[in-house]
Structure formats: structure tokens, C-alpha cells
Amino acid sequence: MGQVIEALVLQKEDKEGRLVLSKKRAQYERAWGEIEREKERDGVVRGPVIEVVKGGLILDIGLRGFLPASLVELRRVRDLQPYVGRTIEAKIIELDRNRNNVVLSRRAWLEETQKEQREEFLTNLKPGEVRTGTVSSVVNFGAFVDLGGMDGLVHVSELSWKHVDHPGSVVAVGDEIEVQVLDVDLDKERISLSLKATQQDPWQEFATNHRVGELVYGRVTKLVPFGAFVQVGEGIEGLVHISEMSENHVDLPEQVVNPGEELWVKIIDLDLQRRRISLSIKQAAEGGVVAAEYQQHFGEHAYDEAGNYVGAADVVDAEKAWAEYYAEYGDGTGTAPAPETGSADEAGADEAGTDEAGTGAAGGPETSTAAAPTGEGVGAAEVVPDDLGAAVDAEVTAGPGGDVPPAS
């Protein structure tokens, strides 16, 4: 009794002649009036979180205000339950009195209050710097990384030197990674980052360890009308142009090789800037210097002073050498193919004939198209089928893409 309250007149007179008032409606109308004034002056409202609903939170700001989950913090929050009971501040971003709809954004308020800190952070961040951050979210086009104050984007093309189908195959939320700063946009407050820039470039590594004229062992990955792509290293593919497949004319690459087949090829061109390698099956059959990593695994006894392959003394040793090589470098598919060898009896029966001929067992896995080349030059009949075709310069890319002009 005696308390002064505010009420809204709903009806001047009912059937009994009484004035009909509503305290609740008066509070509602006053709240709307205050909220509309705050919206006009771009102010801030404050209230406790009373409920978690689908897609966000409900705040009591004199009436029910909706705060979307994506606007609770500077980055999306997955678990909203801890916010219940907390009193938070937010800006009004949408107001519709007819629909009784109020949409709030705490993120906008945080961005406004932390603007000076963000500007200082961006100013001190320089392109080329390497920073440690935590992956805050993974999306189809890349991954956002928290650098300790602001998020930067690692585009999917900057996640790895190899092709990435989805960023989730490279990083996951919560991963701590080192990234290099590529660009800082002060106007848009955006940071571009790179994960692969902090890793060894496989092309640079390949170019450092190999030279034109060397023989390398590879696996055919794809056939195209103008040749075949051969994987010669982790993430490295080169092109054997159809003209470099055989001394004889070749109409279709499948006449010579098949996908998955392994063979020796010679590097005939290496363009690091364009990331292209040209390879030749035909020239590999003529022999040459074998790349150092293969010499290391097959043993010095299998090569002459010039680095030419002269044959391993024991097929068992060759099998062991290949197993060691695949264990260290991998074969590109996760499986190490076993060399084709005859039975022990057949090996014994052939040993005398082999000694008389002055040649040893092959030092690498046999394939239908190429064996390990010898220092004296392996005949085409021993290495490549007679129906393989004629040679031209081959232009090589890291993988199939676009037309490759025929070599002249």
C-alpha cells in the first residue's frame, strides 16, 4: 500500500465503470522507448542472459533481446551455456517494434572497445614475420588462426605445397601452428597468413638435390594424350612427352606405360620458376648417372666412379635396398612394391650364365618398361618394348593442367 507505480491505461472504463490499467504493459512501452533512443544514438544496452535458444542467447533488457551465437564474441562460440546468468553489454543492430524483434551484437561492442588495441596489434605486425597461433576455425576456403588478439586467414592454397581437398585434412581447431604473415590490411583489419611458407618447398629441395641428365625412379600417375605424368618425389610430378617414350613412333601413351607402373626416367629439363620437369623414358634406356639417393640405398658397389649403375651383386640386397629407400622416402602411395625375382633354384641356374655375360642382377624393381640403366648403356630390347615411340622435348608440370605444346 502506498507504493507509487507506473501504469498504462488500457481502457478508460469497463462495464462496471472502472479504469483498466497495466503495469506490465507500461514497463514494456517504457523499455521500447529507451531501446529506440539507444539505437538512435548508437548506444549500448546491458542485461543478464536468461536463456540459451537455438542459434544464440536471450537477454533481459526490459524486454527479450536476441543475441546470435556468431555475435557473442569476436569469434564464434560453440558452447553458450556458461553465459547464462552473466550480465553483458551489447549494441543494438536491428529493431522491429511491430514484430517485437530486437537483435543485439556483443561482438560489435567488443570491436569498438578494443579498436585501439587492434590498431596497435596490426601496426606492429609485419609481412614476413613468423608467428605462433592457434587454429580457431576451419572453413571450406581455409583456416582462421588466433595470433593472440586477432584472427588471420590461411587460405586453402597456403596450407600446403601439395594439393588440399579440404583444410580439415591439414589442420584442426585447437592446433598450435607456426605461420608466416603474408599481408596486413589496416583498412579492412585483415591478416593473410601462410602455413606452407614455414615449410620446406619440395620443388626447391628437388632442384637442389637433382640436376639435368640424372636418372630417377618414378611412378606413372596419369596418362594424357600428349604423354604421361610420373611422380619422382613427394608432391613432385614431371611429364614424359609422348615423343620421349621410345625410339619408335608412339600413337598413344598407353602403348608404352600404364598408371601405377614404376620405371626409370631421365631428367632432361628442370624449370624451378615454372615448377616444371621434363622427363624421358627413351633417354633413360641409354644409361647415365643415377640420382644420389638411389646410389645411397643400393650401395656404392652398384655404381662406377661416374655414378653409372653397373648392377647389384645380389637380388636379395636389391630388395633390401628398395625396402630401406621406401621406408625413408615413401613410394607416394604408402606401399613399397617388391622387386620381381625368380625362385632360388632359377637364380642358381642362371648364375653361371650371368657371370659369363659379366652382368649382375637388376638393382631396382623390374617394370614392363624400364630397368635400372647400366653404365655401358642398356639396349632398348632389355629395357623398353620394341613398339615404344619417338622423341621430342617434353614440357613438364607439377601435374596435369592445360595443353602442353608438342616439343620441336
CATH class of 203-383: mainly beta
Q: Are 244 and 227 in contact (CB under 8 A)?
A: yes
pLDDT in tens, the chain (408 residues): 666 666 556 666 666 767 666 666 777 777 788 888 888 888 888 999 999 998 899 999 888 899 999 898 877 787 889 999 999 999 988 888 888 889 999 988 888 887 778 888 888 889 999 999 999 889 899 999 999 878 899 999 999 888 788 999 999 998 999 999 999 998 888 899 999 989 888 888 888 888 898 899 999 999 999 999 999 988 789 999 999 999 899 999 999 999 999 999 999 999 888 889 999 999 988 877 787 776 666 555 555 665 555 554 444 555 666 677 677 766 655 454 444 444 444 444 444 344 443 333 334 444 344 444 444 333 333 333 333 333 333 333 333 333 434 443
pLDDT at 348: 42
pLDDT at 347: 40
| Tens digits of residue pLDDT in 132-163 | 999 988 989 999 999 987 889 999 999 988 87
pLDDT at 14: 64
CATH of domain 8-13+20-112: 2.40.50.140
Q: Which fold has domain 128-198?
A: OB fold (Dihydrolipoamide Acetyltransferase, E2P) (2.40.50)
pLDDT at 319: 63
**Helix, strand or coil, per DSSP, at residue 259:** coil
Angle of helix 106-113 relative to helix 115-124, nearest 10 degrees? Answer: 60
**Helix, strand or coil, per DSSP, at residue 344:** helix
pLDDT at 58: 93
Using H for helix, E for strand and C for coil, what is the string for 280-318? Answer: EHHHHCCCCEECHHHHHHHCHHHECCCCEECCECCHHHH
pLDDT at 38: 84
Residue ranges, CATH 2.40.50.140, the chain: 8-13+20-112, 128-198, 203-383
| Tens digits of residue pLDDT in 54-105 | 889 999 988 889 999 989 887 778 788 999 999 999 998 888 888 888 999 9
**Helix, strand or coil, per DSSP, at residue 137:** strand
Q: How many CB atoms lie within 10 A of CB 142?
A: 22
CA distance linking residue 406 with residue 341, whole number of Å? 38
Q: Pick from 147, 237, 239, 235: which is nearest to 196 by CA?
A: 235
Q: Are 303 and 262 in contact (CB under 8 A)?
A: no
CA distance linking residue 150 with residue 139, whole number of Å? 17
pLDDT at 376: 39
pTM of the model: 0.48
